[in-house]
Each structure stands twice: as C-alpha cells, then as structure tokens.
Structure 1
Amino acid sequence: MPIANPAATASFATKAEETKGRLFAEPESPTRTAFQRDRDRIIHSVAFRRLKYKTQVFVYHEGDNYRTRLSHSLEVSQIARSIARVLGLDEDLAETLALAHDLGHTPFGHAGETALDGCMSEFGGFDHNAQTLRIVTKLERRYAEFDGLNLTWETLEGLVKHNGPVIVPGIGMGDLPRAIAEYAETQDLELECFAGPEAQVAALADDIAYNNHDIDDGLRAGLFGIDDLLALPLVGDVFRKVMDRYPGLEEARVIHEAVRELIGTMIADVLGETRTRLAAAKPETVADVRAMGRPLVGFTPDMNEHNAALKAFLFKRMYRHYRVNRSMSKAQRIVRDLFGLLHRSPDQLPPEWQVGCDGPGGFKTARRVCDYIAGMTDKFAIEEHQRLFDLHDPRS
C-alpha cells in the first residue's frame, strides 16, 4: 500500500495512496510517498542536471546571473509548493511537475525549439512537452528493468496536460505530437480531460515565475528600464509604490522588492480565484476536478489582462530585442547545421546514438538526431558545432 501524504488535506487533492500506479510494477518505498519518489527520480536524472546549462532567453555564456532552465524550475517549484500547501493539495506532486516541466526543452530556449521543429517538419515535428514525456518514459536509461523513470500515472498525466486537455474539438489523436500519440497506445492518460489540481497549480506557477523573472533579467541586462515599465498595469503600480516607499533605494534592490511583491500579488490572485471556483463547483474528489470542463486553478480576469499586457511588453522589448535576436539567430543556425549534418551522416553521431538509425536521411535517423540535439545544453551544442564545422578545431 502506498504511503499517504498527510499534508494533502483537501478532499479533491490527488492522493498519493490512491495513485493509479506505474506502468511497470515496483515495490513501494517504505519511506517516501509515490510522488516523493517521482520527484527524487527527476532530481537524479541526467536530463534534470542538463538544465543547468540550458537557457530561456540568454545564451549561457552571456552571464552567470541570468536564469537557466534549472534555476527557473526551482523557482517554479517553490511557488507551486506554496500555492498547493494553502489549498491543501499534494505539495510533492506539484513540486514534481514543476521540476520536470522543462526537461524536454532544447538548447537556446524557444529559438532552439523553433529551429528543431523546422528541421523535423517532414518527420513529425518537435514539441517540448512531448519531448518531456519521451525523456521520462524512454530516453532516460538508468534502471535495469525498464527504460525511462517509470513515474506514476498522475505525474505523467500532469506533464502532458498541465496546460489543459490535449484532445479537444478539432484536435484528435492523429493531430497530437508523435511522442504523445505513441505513448497513448501504451497507457491511457485521459487526454480529453483536465489534469488534476496539482498540475494546474504547476502551470500557473510557471507563468508567475516566468513573467516576473524575465522582468528581473531584462532590467539587469539593460534591455529596458524601470521607466519603461511604469505604464504597464499592475507592474507599473508596484514599481511606483516601491520607489515611493524607499526613496533613493539602489536600483537592484528596487527591482528585487518589486518583483517579489508582484509574485506575492499573483499568488494571492490565484488563491482567491481558485477559492471562488471551488465554491461554485464544489468538487469532492480529484475526478470531479478532471471532469469540471474548465480549469479549477486560475487567475482572475483582471490578472489575465495584466499578464497579457506584460507578455506583450516582454515580447516586444525583450524577446525581440536586437541583441536577443542576434544571439538567437546564431543559435538557430547552430541547431540547423547540427541536424543537417548528422541526419545526412549519422556515422558522425556518438556510437550509442547511432543505434536505432536507419541510414542517412532516414525517418528513424531523424528521430535519433532530434533526441540527441534536444538533449544538448547550450554549452555542448556550441562546442559540438565547433568540433564538426571548424576545420582548425583540434577536437574534431
């Protein structure tokens, strides 16, 4: 019998002792709940360690103070645990999903993903959520009796559906990313339903962390200034309040005070709105949450508007800043160069990655090359590109 988590007090929380189990049966841990075990397997995985040198906006060599996928995942997990604790949900499951949600990202953030998706356009495309599922069910090769991490059904469900159902009107199984459709033949993750509340919390925590920490990184990188933020709803109000409260405070402290206040405000908004939805829907079990037909966890309409305004600002002033564009253009060329060469010449892959290829230009070769590149860190991708394309590199 799996161990229960006494902290999961809400009747509609996902209960560790009621897990639907793992694809491959294993003896239960005598000291950890099923979701704590999932969390630990993710933390000890190779893919999690690689997040240290995978970036979101800035390539790794641009500075040590900017967020990486690893630091971002840790920040998301802290926010997710905080929200889950107040709502009486399973904190360990929320943390697990937060820590794992970015495992499938390529090097160089969304620019790398766009480039790799283009390279794979004739071979099923590339999607980072599907790649996360592929990593935890297939590509991690650590255990004697199975590939992947053999995570619980609830964790896999949350990784695939944390942003909502993936089968909706107009989108069927044949329209899904290949990795998700293939896995659905092995295990039913109820793709037409919403995920449990812990996965919904992790998704909102990701949004909160991402937006606020991009404000922090963008200001510190000089891509925009505090004055540029003052016209934004909520964000501008918070920065003005901090500067009025602490006149003459150095800018770095102003930024930190404002960002932490913004995070707290957004968390409070999620909690208030979720309680309103709970009062209306009155779910008694996690199955009720999945069947609601709308998210249980969410922002108020006002906060959604504030978030949209912030995202539009960041898109224009940060993600499309000429300095970022130049860096991401180089990154995309690296990804395209690597894919093109290795797909044409799979004999240049490391020996363990040549296994499963079906020759130059083949479909299976494309999938192996895609997995190889997607797993790279920014650092390794740059170095591998130098080894393969720099005629004077002694390592080639």
Structure 2
Amino acid sequence: MIRRRSGGPARRPAGPAGPISRLVRSVPRPEDFTGPSHSPLVAARLGRWLGVAFGLCFVTGLLSHAVAHPPDWFAWPTRPASLYRVTQGVHVLSGIAAIPLLLAKLWSVYPRLFARPPLRRPARLVGHVLERVSILLLVCAAFFELVTGLFNVAQSYPWRFFFPAAHYAVAWLAVGALLVHVGVKLPVTRAALASRLDQEPVPGRRAFLRTAAGASGVAVLATAGVTVPWLRHVSALAWRSAGGPQGVPVNRTATAAGIVVPADWRLEIVWAGGRRGLGLADLAALPQRTGRLPIACVEGWSAVADWTGVPVVDLLTAVGAPAGRPVRVSSLETAGLYATSTLPAVHVADPLTLLALRVNGEVLQPDHGYPCRIIAPNRPGVLQTKWVTRLEVLG
C-alpha cells in the first residue's frame, strides 16, 4: 500500500529540469510507504524469526556436509542411532520454514530500496553502497540456497554444477552477508524490538506477523511427515513416506545404477597380508543380528526398518582381518559418485553396523542392495552402500 503524506503536494515544485532529475523526483521515498507491514518493528520481528530458521539450517547443514564429506579432524558418533535423521530433518524443515518468512521480510523492507543515495556526502555514500551490496548478496545467496534446496529434496537437478559443493559454498556467503547486515542494522533492530506492537496505533501489523508465522507453520506441517512418522497422514506435500519396495523408499534403483549381479558373486574381504572371499551362503551361515535402524537421506526423508545381517566387526573377526580400523566399502555400481564409501573405525567397531542381507524379514530386493548392503547407525543414506562386493581394511 502506498499513501502520500498529507500537508503538501506529493512532489516538491522545482524549476526546469532534465529527464534524469524528473525521473529521480518521480521515484517514491521510503516515508511514502505507510502500510502496516512496512515498519522497523515488523521487519525486526521477522528478522529475528528468520535468523533462527537460517541459524538452524546453517548449523545442521554444516553437520550434514561434514558427515557426508568428513575432514580428517571430524569424528561423528554412532549413537544415538537416529541423530543424523533428526539433524537432517531439522535442516530441511528449517529451510522450508524460512521461505515464507523470507518473502514476508522482503515485503516489509522493500520500501527501503527507494532510499536515495546521499550523493553530496561521499563518506555516507560509501556506506550506502556497501550496505546495498551486502543486501544484494544476502538476498541472492538466500534465494539460491532455498530454491536449490527445494529442487534437491525433489531430486530434480536442472543445472550442471555439483549441488553439495555449491550449496555448501553459497551457505557461507549467505551467512557472511547476513552477519554484515545484522551489524549494520543492529541499532535500528534493538530500538524496534524494544517497542511493543500495542504501543503503535497502526492496525494490521499483528495480522501481518501472524499470517507470516502461520504460513511458515503450514509449510512445515505440510512436509514434516517425511521425517516425523506420526505426521505422515497430515503432511500433504511429503515427498517420501513409508512406501517403497519392502516398505522402505529408495532413491536409486538397481536398474538406474546398471547393476548386474554375477552368478558367481562373492564378497571379497582384503586387508594387509590377507584376503578372503565369501559367497552368499557363507554369509547367511554366520551368526546374524537384527537391528531397527533408520535410512536417513540428505533430502530430509527418513524411514525405519528392521535390518538383518552380519555385524561388520564379527565378519572381520571371523575371517581373521583386523577389526579396529576404517573399512573402504565398494559397490557393484562403478559409475556413481558414491560407488565407494569409508566406514570409520568407530562404526566398524559398533555391533549395529551390519552387512545386511534382509530387511523387514525378507531377502533384500535388488533396489535395496541385493545381495548385501551396509547399514550403520547414524549415517547418511548416501553412505549406506548398496550392492557391496568388496570390503578393504585400511591402515
């Protein structure tokens, strides 16, 4: 809503002027916008909510990146077994919650874009330009993160760059620009948050804030069922559920991965000074263990199932291989980015890390990794390697 100030003409009289001067004078001023949503108080409250959503999304995103692409110094525990499921669910849902909040925030502050630069004060002009650049970077980075994140959860990639690396790099740009923006606007924000909505006689501000918060809540509720089981029946936009082969969703099928299991398939176990091959019957003859563990994907969805197989630590011990070291797991899939993964030593030693042969009481179907796959507690689904053909003890 645009309202002109009373008590005078909308445009100040002026003498003859060129087209540029007339254009500048025709641009509205920030004070021309007097709608209930355009106030420092509304912008400050939305900014606080948005800061919480962005903060949760950023921290859990860093964790997700470190777990999937661990640096040498990083250690991720095996317990609680569902920790990654929770952190990645928070990451995706906080990003979804941020979308309506970001749109509302931009609506509340966009009149400030019409503030005219102080051309006659060079020192202030520099600050004005730097502030605008930081805002532009913040808005562009935030939209990039949220839009590409939505495409990622939908498993749609209409671009040629590697999503995890780009998403991670732009996240740092967004947070850096956000910190600069907060530092610049901190005095205004503090003054605004110190006031109360009921102290300002302009109607409609409470309704605008409630609408923004409600839209954010509805967006979360509509999608939270992908990771919160008891919400699956009310989450209309949940992109994954308990459906799928053998009651568990899959991202990559055996056909898509080009998997052909040889008739003479054997699991090769290799370590320094030793090698052993085991067939499927040999694995089935070893003591089995069943664990109720989640598959938790980077896209945010997760599902729990009963997995049965041989604990990796017991398997290594049975063939005489050292069991206290990391293990590289290789798949029959050779062309994918995650055809191999590395189990850290802490996961190898955990008895719940299984070379699974069955799921929910049934022999693994090809889409779930037949003849065997890795299932480890508190690991991303992308690292729960399917169609395993080789275990190599490292170090």
Place the TM-score, normalised by the shorter chain, in its bin: under 0.3
Looking at CA atoms only, which structure, 1 or 2, has the larger radius of gyration? 2
- Taking structure 1 as the reference length, the TM-score comes to 0.22
- Taking structure 2 as the reference length, the TM-score comes to 0.22
Which is richer in strand? Answer: 2
